């Protein structure tokens, strides 16, 4: 990341002496001003505001300072050790949510649930849904519990390492599986991630390769009617599409597609059974993304 020009620092200082502290993370005066506005709105004393700006200068994530992040209509509690929900995840989650019929008791399992942002938001807006969140991290599950309590919803939370053992997590067929797995390669994480992510957010939540997508094919496919998995790049989606296309059984039963985000980057690989139980998943995912199989 290039250094901030001294001229820009001086200009920021002339506007407000706190702005230069925000520039290394915000990069522009407009963004720094916006962030200072948020900080002042959330924190009460000038000392707290100054302290927050100093922490930002050290790249400490804003959401860990303010202790929350909006996600759809809910506010998700944030704390160090648990991944901060991202707008990319919020975008597809809200789209999925709006496609779920509100008069049916659908079953949903969210793997790698972190703060529980996905199942808590869905349960909040689809009260008949039965939602389960699974994560290996105690810290994440404690925060997901707080999230569901704070938002007044009941989500079942389970501690499991899904790569080591996915057996016995569910006993019956599930309508919808969602997952935002760790998907950044070690190399990309070291070379390209921002300091606020690299230093302060949990590696367990970020670094991964194909293992969670392999787990989808090997374990989850026979147990669900539809899946939505976030991806970091197109190779992860291609892997899923190739695995489904090459198996005559999967190829006959499943449709698979890719959904891009607002920046037009491939962000989700999703699939649904051509014929499913409970309600029509093909209809639910109509126009969600582009089908490749
Ligand atoms: C990218 S974060 C997603 C968090 C949340 N779903 C979101 O979208 O903000 C990935 C999550 O996977 C969890 N995780 C990592 N390895 C896991 C494993 N083997 N089994 C279950 N959960 C795992 C991490 O603890 C982390 O909370």
pLDDT in tens, 177-198: 999 999 999 999 999 998 999 9
Ligand 1 centroid, distance to 279 Cα (angstroms): 28
Ligand 1 centroid, distance to 78 Cα (angstroms): 14
Q: Does the domain made of 71-291 have the CATH classification 3.40.50.150?
A: yes
Confidence band, pLDDT 50/70/90 cuts, at residue 277? confident
Q: Which residue is it, tokens 């049916």?
A: 104
The residue contributing the CA closest to ligand 1 atom 4 is 114
**pLDDT of 278:** 83
CA nearest neighbour of 182 among 230, 226, 238? 230
The residue contributing the CA closest to ligand 1 atom 7 is 85
Tell me the average pLDDT across 246-253. 97
State the closest ligand 1 atom to the C-alpha of 113, by its place in the atom list counted from 1: 6
Ligand 1 centroid, distance to 20 Cα (angstroms): 34
Q: What ranges in the chain are assigned the alpha helix state H?
A: 6-15, 19-26, 29-42, 46-57, 62-66, 87-99, 117-125, 138-150, 186-192, 195-200, 203-206, 211-215, 234-246, 248-253, 281-284
Contact 282, 226 (CB under 8 A): no
Ligand 1 centroid, distance to 175 Cα (angstroms): 21
DSSP calls for 176-197: EEEE----B-HHHHHHHS-HHH
Q: Dihedrals φ, ψ of 76, to 5°?
A: -100, 125
CA nearest neighbour of 133 among 69, 67, 191, 180? 180
Confidence band, pLDDT 50/70/90 cuts, at residue 116? very high
20-40 tens-digit pLDDT: 999 999 999 999 999 999 999
Q: What percent of the chain has pLDDT over 90?
A: 96
* pLDDT above 90 for 242: yes
DSSP calls for 68-119: EEEETTEEEE--TTSPPPPHHHHHHHHHHHHHS-TTS--EEEEES-TTTHHH
**pLDDT of 263:** 97
Residue from 64, 90, 108, 135 whose mutation best tests the ligand 1 pocket (most atoms within 8 A of CB): 135
Q: Where in the chain is the domain with CATH 3.40.50.150?
A: 71-291
State the closest ligand 1 atom to the C-alpha of 85, by its place in the atom list counted from 1: 9
CA nearest neighbour of 117 among 87, 156, 147? 147
What gap in Å lies between CA 38 and CA 29, rounded to an integer? 14
**pLDDT of 2:** 76
127-177 tens-digit pLDDT: 999 999 999 999 999 999 999 999 999 999 999 999 999 999 998 999 999
What gap in Å lies between CA 194 and CA 197, rounded to an integer? 5
Ligand 1 centroid, distance to 29 Cα (angstroms): 34
Ligand 1 centroid, distance to 229 Cα (angstroms): 12
First to last CA, the chain: 39
Confidence band, pLDDT 50/70/90 cuts, at residue 279? confident
Ligand 1 centroid, distance to 165 Cα (angstroms): 15
Strands of the 254-260 sheet, one edge to the other: 156-159, 130-135, 107-111, 174-179, 224-230, 266-273, 254-260, 290-291
Q: How far is CA 250 from CA 44, 94, 174, 258, 275, in A?
A: 56, 28, 17, 17, 12
What gap in Å lies between CA 184 and CA 190, rounded to an integer? 10
**pLDDT of 30:** 97
41-91 tens-digit pLDDT: 999 999 999 999 999 999 999 999 999 999 999 999 999 999 999 999 999
Confidence band, pLDDT 50/70/90 cuts, at residue 14? very high
Residue from 89, 112, 177, 202 whose mutation best tests the ligand 1 pocket (most atoms within 8 A of CB): 112
The residue contributing the CA closest to ligand 1 atom 10 is 205
Round the average pLDDT of the chain to a whole number and report it. Answer: 96
Contact 110, 162 (CB under 8 A): no
Residue 41: how many other CB atoms lie within 10 Å: 8
Confidence band, pLDDT 50/70/90 cuts, at residue 3? confident
Using a 6 Å CB cutoff, which residues line ligand 1? 83, 85, 89, 112-115, 117-118, 135-137, 140, 160-163, 180-182, 204-205
Tokens for 134, please give them: 């699974």
Tell me the average pLDDT across 277-289. 93
Tell me the average pLDDT across 243-263. 97
């Amino acid at each position: 990341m290039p250094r901030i020009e001294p001229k820009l620092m001086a200009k920021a200082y002339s506007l407000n002496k706190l702005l230069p502290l925000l520039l290394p993370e915000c990069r522009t005066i407009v963004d720094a001003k916006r962030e200072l506005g948020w900080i002042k709105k959330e924190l009460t004393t000038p000392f707290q505001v100054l302290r927050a700006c100093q922490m930002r200068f050290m790249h400490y994530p804003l959401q860990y300072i303010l202790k929350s992040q909006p996600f759809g209509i809910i506010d998700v509690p944030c704390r160090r050790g648990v991944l901060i929900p991202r707008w990319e995840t919020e975008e597809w989650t809200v789209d999925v949510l709006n496609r779920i019929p509100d008069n049916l008791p659908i079953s949903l399992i969210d793997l790698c649930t972190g703060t529980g942002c996905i199942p808590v938001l869905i349960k909040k807006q689809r009260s008949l849904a039965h939602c389960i969140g699974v994560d290996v991290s105690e810290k994440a599950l404690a925060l997901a519990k707080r999230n569901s309590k704070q938002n007044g919803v009941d989500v079942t939370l389970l501690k499991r390492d899904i790569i080591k053992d996915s057996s016995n997590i569910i006993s019956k067929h599930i309508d919808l599986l969602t997952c935002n797995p760790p998907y950044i390669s070690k190399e990309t994480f070291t070379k390209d991630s921002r300091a606020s992510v690299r230093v302060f957010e949990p590696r367990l939540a970020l670094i991964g390769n194909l293992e969670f997508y392999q787990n989808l094919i090997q374990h989850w496919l026979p147990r669900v009617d539809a899946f939505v998995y976030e991806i970091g790049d197109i190779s992860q989606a291609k892997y899923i599409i190739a695995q489904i296309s090459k198996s005559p059984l999967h190829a006959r039963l499943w449709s698979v597609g890719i959904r891009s985000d607002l920046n037009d980057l491939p962000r989700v690989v999703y699939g649904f059974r051509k014929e499913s139980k409970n309600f029509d998943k093909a209809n639910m995912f109509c126009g969600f993304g582009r089908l490749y199989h």
